[in-house]
Amino acid sequence: MGANSSSISDLPENEYLKKLSGAEPISENDPFWNQLLSFSFTTPTNSADLKLLEEATISVCKSLVEKNPRTGNLGALIKVFLSRTKELKISAECQNHLFIWQAHNALFIICCLLKVFISRMSEEELQLHFTYEEKTAGSYGTEREDLIEELLCCLIQLIVEIPLLDITYSISLEAVTTLIVFLSCQLFHKEILRESIIHRYLMHGRCLPYTSRLVKTLLYNFIRQERSPPPGAHVFQQQTDGGGLLYGIASGVATGLWTVFTLGGVGSKPSPQLEHCSPLASQSLLLLLVLANLTDAPDTPNPYRQAIMSFKNTQDSTALSSSNPHAFQINFNSLYTALSEQQKSDQATLLLYMLLHQNSNVRTYVLARTDIENLVLPILEILYHVEERNSHHVYMALIILLILTEDDGFNRSIHEVILRNITWYAERVLTEISLGSLLILVVIRTIQYNMTRTRDKYLHTNCLAALANMSAQFRSLHQYAAQRIISLFSLLSKKHNKVLEQATQSLRGSLGSNDSPLPDYAQDLNVIEEVIRMMLEIINSCLTNSLHHNPNLVYALLYKRDLFEQFRTHPSFQDIMQNIDLVISFFSSRLEQAGAELSVERVLEIIKQGAIALPKDRLRKFPELKFKYVEEEQPEEFFIPYVWSLVYNSAVALYWNPQDIQLFTMDSG
């Protein structure tokens, strides 16, 4: 920060802030507002800066909370901001730095105050603070106006209508941030908000017609990844000739106590993190996720979710549906590129999940891409680094794979994409491997990690479901992928034997003692046998549908044939073992006939010849393995806390006191 902590600590004694939060009402026409709004700073872009700022100004905010019902100064400040935004578009076109600078400062103060108000009161109490009383001349009553809807609508208009330039970047970012703060009341409730004053304003009335434009603008902000302009680009600059009258006024007003308030002051260098990211893109994506996951109103579905579910490609010439007023078009190629490049963040992965799951136009487009590896590889990298990711991010990545593997065309095409030198895969040097084989390797590695660490049945199920969906289209499996499939079965077999032995010993021990209850080994055994059955079905599906395409899998099967012996007569596996047993017997016989001391190359050659010779009708047909992702009932119970944990943990400027948060525990993010 440009100002050290000692200068920030002076803010509670700042005469302008004290007047704003004092007992005297301030007219919206008072010259005071020009003085209050004439300070220079770069908007804080991390929670550490905002924490310092909030701690320094909390006494001012508390004073305003107490006195505002009588003074109406918050309403007056909002009125000042609203009046200035009416000329913002023209100001941007005319490069009117001073006007935009003061409008931004007004919104920044409103946002800081709003965050404190929302954390300390109910929505009903907040609405009273936003109720503006205007006494009209010659009348005995008062005219009351609720400023919440007017401010919300103004913020949305600012986001969708003001062109994004260096001088408007900060106010656009502040508008997005203020909308997030308006919706942050959810953070201070343990239960999911199903009825909310703010939600009602956003889903009805004056805000509703802007739904599709807001969603489209937020998506384009994410797509474009516009970096923050150099510090000072948004502030009214001094002219080389010493400046005109306007600059003289601005600099004169800004002198005095406000000059201590210079966060990341003009001319200072941006942090290294901000040099490589876009705060506006990050914040826009968070707002989009929050809006998309608002609960439906009693009388209408969430219009923002409807917009996300229905938008089309700009290349799509079919007319937009008249039944959906929130439909729009966007450039799918640009969206695909942004999604592929940004998958390191939870937010981008969650957006990709939502689009694939809810928007059939996006899903069809993605599955038709000939460069699908650009999207799949970042998802696989998330799963590969499972130890470093939070569980929600891993789940989202896994479900994306499950949705993609529901499509047979995808399952075929990934084996045709050849990759070279996958540097992040450390277990083995992979100089050349198909995308399909790499996907199998990463999913199996995730299963093995889960077996030894988290032991999450849900994660197991989805991993196996993705493998099962692909199994009928396995093609030219890499020898290492084939080995890992059999190695996973070997691990499961050992685990099965261990639990079976524990159950037997426990049963023997219980015959001599009735004191302690028996562990539930039967349940453990049942879970392991379900997984073993699934693995056998995956191997069987590959053998019955694409045996001649996978000599490496047959080789691995023969090399570890003893593993399968114990399951031939097991009642849970007898039927599925018939085909596997037949393949092992058939190829073992051909290898015995060829003699001993065979090279790996000769064995593979015999397997390829045998695959052609084996009559297909000898293999028993089983129902096709197909698993479809189905969202759980009441998905908002998962997604709303998840989205708000992303907002809370975001590096972009938002800070809340962790002790105030009710929606989730601090380690849930």
What token pair was written down for 232?
Answer: 């000072």
Number of residues in the chain? 669
The pLDDT confidence band at residue 249, using thresholds 50, 70 and 90, is very low
Measured distance CA(157)–CA(152) in Å, rounded = 9
For residue 457, the SS3 value is helix
The yes-or-no verdict on residue 381 having pLDDT over 90 is: yes
Question: By C-alpha distance, which of 463, 379, 458 is closest to 632?
Answer: 458
Measured distance CA(617)–CA(615) in Å, rounded = 6
For residue 313, the SS3 value is strand
The β-bridge partners of 300 are 297
In this prediction, residues 49-68 reach a mean pLDDT of 86
Phi, psi of 330 (to 5 degrees): -145, 160
% residues pLDDT > 70 (the chain): 85
pLDDT tens per residue, range 479-536: 999 999 999 999 999 998 888 888 787 777 665 555 555 566 777 788 888 899 999 9
Owner of token pair 């047979």:
408
One-letter identity of residue 214:
L
8-state DSSP, 659: G
8 Å CB contact between 56 and 9: yes
Highest mean pLDDT among 71-75, 258-262, 455-459: 71-75
Q: What angle do CA 531, 536, 540 make, to 5 degrees?
A: 150
Say which range, 44-53, 330-339, 340-349, 591-600, has the weakest mean pLDDT: 44-53
Element (H, E) at 511: helix 479-511
In this prediction, residues 370-380 reach a mean pLDDT of 97
User: Cβ atoms within 10 A of the Cβ of 433, count?
Assistant: 24
Q: What is the pLDDT of residue 182?
A: 95
pLDDT tens per residue, range 554-570: 999 999 999 999 898 88
CA distances from 569 to 236, 476, 490, 563 (A): 83, 31, 17, 13
User: Cβ atoms within 10 A of the Cβ of 668, count?
Assistant: 16
pTM of the model: 0.89
Gyration radius (Cα) of the chain, Å: 31
8 Å CB contact between 214 and 202: no
8-state DSSP, 33: H
Measured distance CA(334)–CA(453) in Å, rounded = 39
8-state DSSP, 667: T
The yes-or-no verdict on residue 471 having pLDDT over 60 is: yes
User: Cβ atoms within 10 A of the Cβ of 360, count?
Assistant: 12
8-state DSSP, 619: S
Q: Is the dihedral of CA 47, 51, 54, 56 positive or negative?
A: negative
Say which range, 24-28, 54-58, 226-230, 563-567, has the weakest mean pLDDT: 54-58
For 128-173, the three-class secondary structure string (H helix, E strand, C coil) is HHCEEEECCCCCCCCEEEEHHHHHHHHHHHHHHHCCCCCCCHHHHH
Alpha helices in 32-133 (DSSP H): 32-36, 47-71, 73-85, 88-93, 97-120, 123-129
8 Å CB contact between 346 and 668: no
The yes-or-no verdict on residue 263 having pLDDT over 80 is: no
The β-bridge partners of 313 are 330
8 Å CB contact between 482 and 551: no
Measured distance CA(41)–CA(267) in Å, rounded = 10
Q: What is the pLDDT of residue 269?
A: 38
First to last CA, the chain: 27
DSSP string, 421-444: --TT--SS--SEEEHHHHHHHHHH
Q: What is the pLDDT of residue 141?
A: 41
What token pair was written down for 93?
Answer: 């076109």
8 Å CB contact between 174 and 159: no
Average pLDDT, the chain: 84
Measured distance CA(254)–CA(248) in Å, rounded = 10
8 Å CB contact between 419 and 380: no
Measured distance CA(506)–CA(197) in Å, rounded = 59
Measured distance CA(305)–CA(288) in Å, rounded = 9
The yes-or-no verdict on residue 1 having pLDDT over 90 is: no
The β-bridge partners of 132 are 145
Q: What is the pLDDT of residue 272?
A: 41
8 Å CB contact between 375 and 339: yes
List all residues 6 or more positions away from 329 whose beta carbon is below 8 Å from its beta carbon: 311, 312, 313, 314, 316, 320
Q: What angle do CA 634, 640, 641 make, to 5 degrees?
A: 115
Question: By C-alpha distance, which of 326, 28, 290, 264 is closest to 180?
Answer: 290
Say which range, 137-151, 346-360, 374-388, has the weakest mean pLDDT: 137-151
pLDDT tens per residue, range 87-117: 887 877 787 788 888 899 999 999 989 998 9
Measured distance CA(518)–CA(508) in Å, rounded = 11
Parallel/antiparallel/unpaired status of strands 432-434 and 329-330:
unpaired
The pLDDT confidence band at residue 396, using thresholds 50, 70 and 90, is very high
Q: Is the dihedral of CA 279, 282, 285, 290 positive or negative?
A: negative
8 Å CB contact between 19 and 31: no
pLDDT tens per residue, range 610-668: 999 888 888 888 888 899 998 877 788 899 999 999 998 886 657 788 888 888 764 44
The pLDDT confidence band at residue 4, using thresholds 50, 70 and 90, is very low
